[in-house]
Amino acid sequence: MKKLILASALAACAFAAQAKDIVDTAVAAGNFKTLAVALQAAGLVETLKGKGPFTVFAPTDEAFAKIPKDQLDALLKDKAKLTAVLTYHVVPGKVMAKDVKAGMVKTVQGSSLTISTTGGVKVDAANVTKTDIVADNGVIHVIDSVVLPK
């Protein structure tokens, strides 16, 4: 009986210690509900649960709230446009805050983001408000606005 209890406790600890991917990490943070819904609608959940590594500039729920509701609803229904917008927030590789440099960065979507580092880090017009939320397949940097491909 003691062996069974010990085995159960070890299994529970191993499960709790399991690393989380980008999607699980964002969902656990609690302030990316709209992003999670958008990833699901675009069919990108499995991609961002994949091997990576990815760097995601993740807009918060408040960032998505800046988009008028009718425009956001239309975007969530247009899978191709939604996919383009979401993949514009993703850069291949794991780029930690200390490694960020000003300039153009190619996104998974194909266009380039403009990164500026004067007076805080900006991604296009969005401010980076939190950095280095590490996941097992990349890193999340929180931004205060949704950025749109040019």
Contacts of 8 (CB under 8 A, 6+ apart): none
How far, in Å, CA of 92 to CA of 73, rounded?
28
- Tell me the pLDDT tens digit for each residue of 97-133: 999 999 999 999 999 999 999 889 999 999 999 999 9
Q: What is the CATH number of domain 19-143?
A: 2.30.180.10
pLDDT of residue 142: 97
Q: How confident is the model at residue 150 (pLDDT cuts 50, 70, 90)?
A: confident
Q: Give burial (CB, 10 Å; 0-12/13-18/19+) of 22.
A: buried
Model pTM score = 0.85
Report the first-to-last Cα separation within the chain, whole angstroms: 63
Q: Which two tokens stand for residue 115?
A: 């990164």
